Amino acid sequence: MPRILSGVQPTGNIHLGNYVGAFRQWVDMQHDFEALYPVVDLHAITLAYSPDELADRTLEAAALLLAAGLDPDVCTVFVQSHVPEHTELAWLLNHLATVGELRRMTQFKAKAETGGEGALPAGYFNYPVLQAADILIYQADRVPVGEDQRQHLELTRDVAERFNARFGQTFVVPEAYIPKVGGRVMDLQLPTAKMSKSSASPAGRIEVLDPPEAIRRKVRSAVTDSGREVLARPDKPAISNLLELFSVATGSTVGELERTYAGRGYGDFKGDLADALIAFLAPVRERYHELRGDPAHLRAILEQGAVKAQAIARENLALAKERMGFLPRSSG
């Protein structure tokens, strides 16, 4: 069975973009692939964070994944830092990625433009190499992610190809898998920016754990485009985004929704969209609260996941080190 891997950072504020762009696919794909889903906590320390909250956020992200429908008996959910082989492989791969290409990563460029690159932690710069290690250490064939991760996946492929060319065929060269609808959910207040965990205004972000009133309020205050027609068009980024979310939440196509709301204006549309999103997220929120009520059970699931993941990671790390010429320990 082909293997897939994808990760989420435990940085809080998990939102509709994460759910629609990523988690939903992960749930569907767990049955058709051997699937590994780490909560990537080592990626969550690259910028200022609170040590008091990291562990709790990690449990929160894991509970959300399970609440979204990942079944720990079918797939492997684990915590990245519980499998330290990731970090060791990242060090090795740091010698296959170049400073020039890491400097071209748009996430890094954006940060460097706002505050200058000099003060950024070196870990922030190197983060895409750790991501490559997360993927390659499992020989993943496919990586289901949102559109924003495309460039990181290209880098991962380049690193794998370079390793294979230099040290002999070792790593599977993985492919990105990006959904056609919902791969890039936009901010409800600023529809030219992606919905993000760290955006300044929480009003533009619907969080998976938002209570119904909050969802209704955010949908009602979502910005719209000029005109009154409910149509998905490049010059109507706000309505196009809302239509896409409506489509994902209900299973109706964007075309069907456009016909339903033809001539009815934004008011009705927004009311119905809020209802649809509330119904869409309610079961996830309920299961989440059940899972959070039993942290011992949650941690047992993550332990079981780490054991399964580490068995694979250990083997592939050993292979990479052998190919690179390291002296093995005589105890094997």
Tell me the catalytic residues.
111, 194, 197
Binding to ligand AMP, residues 189-228 (CB under 6 A):
194-195, 197
Could you say whether residue 9 binds ligand AMP (CB under 6 A)? yes
Among residues 26 and 266, whose Cβ is nearest to ligand TRP?
26
Full DSSP string of 278-290: HHHHHHHHHHHHH
Residue showing tokens 């016909």: 259
Among residues 34 and 41, whose Cβ is nearest to ligand AMP?
41
Could you say whether residue 3 binds ligand AMP (CB under 6 A)? no
For residue 121 the two structure tokens come to: 């932690």
The whole-angstrom separation of Cα 316 and Cα 40 is 19
Cβ count within 10 A of residue 169: 9
Could you say whether residue 183 binds ligand AMP (CB under 6 A)? yes
Binding to ligand AMP, residues 17-36 (CB under 6 A):
17-18, 21-22
For residue 304 the two structure tokens come to: 């079981």
Nearest CA to 145 out of 242, 26, 65 is that of: 26
Q: Candidates 101, 148, 225, 258: give the one binding ligand AMP (CB under 6 A).
A: 148
Binding to ligand AMP, residues 127-146 (CB under 6 A):
145-146
Count of positions on this chain that bind ligand AMP (CB under 6 A): 17
Specify whether the CB–CB gap between 198 and 229 falls below 8 A.
no
Residues 6+ apart with CB under 8 A from 72: 66, 301, 304, 305
Among residues 135 and 230, whose Cβ is nearest to ligand TRP?
135
Q: What is the smallest separation between the CB atom of 65 and ligand AMP, expressed in angstroms?
A: 10
Cβ count within 10 A of residue 78: 25
Residue type, 143: V
Backbone φ and ψ of 31, nearest 5°:
-85, -25
Specify whether the CB–CB gap between 80 and 134 falls below 8 A.
yes
Among residues 8 and 93, whose Cβ is nearest to ligand AMP?
8
What residue is closest to ligand AMP based on CB?
A: 21
Report the interface residues with ligand TRP, using CB under 6 A: 5-7, 9, 40, 43, 131, 134-135, 143, 145, 149, 152
Could you say whether residue 79 binds ligand AMP (CB under 6 A)? no
Indicate which of ligand TRP, ligand AMP, none lies near residue 5 (CB less than 5 to 8 Å, by partner kind): ligand TRP
Residue type, 158: D
Q: Which residues bind ligand AMP (CB under 6 A)?
A: 6, 8-9, 17-18, 21-22, 145-146, 148-149, 183-185, 194-195, 197
